[in-house]
A and B are shown apart, each in its own frame.
Chain A
């Protein structure tokens, strides 16, 4: 019972670590890219349009939205895995405890 518990606990810890890595990597990559090239080269331009004359939607910088979306995705998934892992650890500890008690009472009788 106890060995199984540690196996599952360790597994979940590796997963959390992997997801934490995944969380930081895209932020770094996107932040570096987002500032350098927030708009793609879109064909040959006929005229220059100052950014302030565009409708408000097109003035929005894309990088913060992208970073926010990635961050939310990772935080939600990470948080969920963490909570399942924690609940699993708790239940398995309790399971081991109850199994021990049953064992003890059987030995006594």
Chain B
């Protein structure tokens, strides 16, 4: 069991080391997330003020879109150097490799969120610090659910043709529950009067989603990645 987590840790460290050296994915993803906020701001702002609930929606759109970009690029890098194949040939548990990749993606997305969330908060007057723990819970569980499905699909698509197009095509319909729960939960949190039971309901729903989909991904990663 310790071996399992050690492999996952090593895979994550490898990914993050490469990323720290070039910072390619981080910078491009971050810039893309900011562009998303900008583009969507135009459709939800009326006379200089954002519409109700717009901040929550824009925040999650930025997370989902930039997350897709980061996922695609992470696995493109692996594919380019044929390192994913080498990783698959290593005498290591496949689920451990999946877990390592997932953690790497999560760290990357967390760093992007660290900048995008305050940005949205400032630009749309969202009360970020009123309930920091609930917001953190929503962001953490939502990002985990999105990345869990995304990592599996991006890894699978490494072998497919037209993978750049197919990743968003597959990912968005399946992660609809994450988007709904994230947007509704954050909107309940950003309201003038915070609807706490509602926020808790959505967090519970996200935890449930994460549990089911992480289990399912660990379970299917092996047969799907075997050629």
In the complex, A touching B, CB below 8 Å? no
Interface residues of B, Cβ cutoff 8 Å to A: none
Interface residues of A, Cβ cutoff 8 Å to B: none
